[in-house]
Amino acid sequence: MMIKFEYLTDPIKLRDGVQFLVIENKPLYRRVIEAFHNDTVGELFVLSENYVPLDMKKTLCYIGDIIKLLSFKPRLDADSALENTIRFMKIWRKYLGVKLFAISGLCCFFSHDELSVLHRELSAENICALDIGSAVPNDVNPVNIYIIDKDLCEVIDK
């Protein structure tokens, strides 16, 4: 599965687990977040599988407010916010067919160790997540980061 964004040279090849899209240009970051909130994300992104475009309204779940996500309570025995997040994604993937979870603020909410667990758990469940932020997260695998800087240039680290 891939997601194409006009400001990136190549589409993001979505792998299971967590990947990061960093948009350092604040007006563009706001535009992207507003598109997710207003359900107009299809104007900026194209999600495809085997080069066939997918209906973003059916295959993408945007989690804009991590606090609202954490109020999701399918069972009462969740020990942590991390477990609740993973459980939410598993249920939505299984029952609603969500193929990609777009999230803003994941790195601000979870520690490095929790992000590692989240990545490992989502990978094991074949779940893709894309965290959209405005700053490069600390201690994150650079292979999973796509950066658009303040001048709208793609930062490529090879």
* 13-23 tens-digit pLDDT: 998 999 999 99
pLDDT at 112: 86
List the domain range (segments joined by +) for residue 33. 2-155
Beta strand pairing call for 2-5 and 12-13: antiparallel
Q: How many domains does the chain have?
A: 1
Tell me the C-alpha to C-alpha distance, in Å, between residue 21 and each of 77, 90, 134, 155.
Answer: 32, 22, 8, 11
Q: Tell me the CATH number at 150.
A: 3.40.50.11940
In three-state secondary structure terms, 81 is helix
* 28-63 tens-digit pLDDT: 999 999 999 888 999 999 999 998 999 988 899 888
Query: Nearest 5°: phi and psi at 11?
Result: -65, 155
Which pTM value belongs to this model? 0.86
Give the residues of the chain that fall short of pLDDT 70: 65-78, 142-143, 157-158
Beta strand pairing call for 52-53 and 45-49: antiparallel
pLDDT at 123: 94
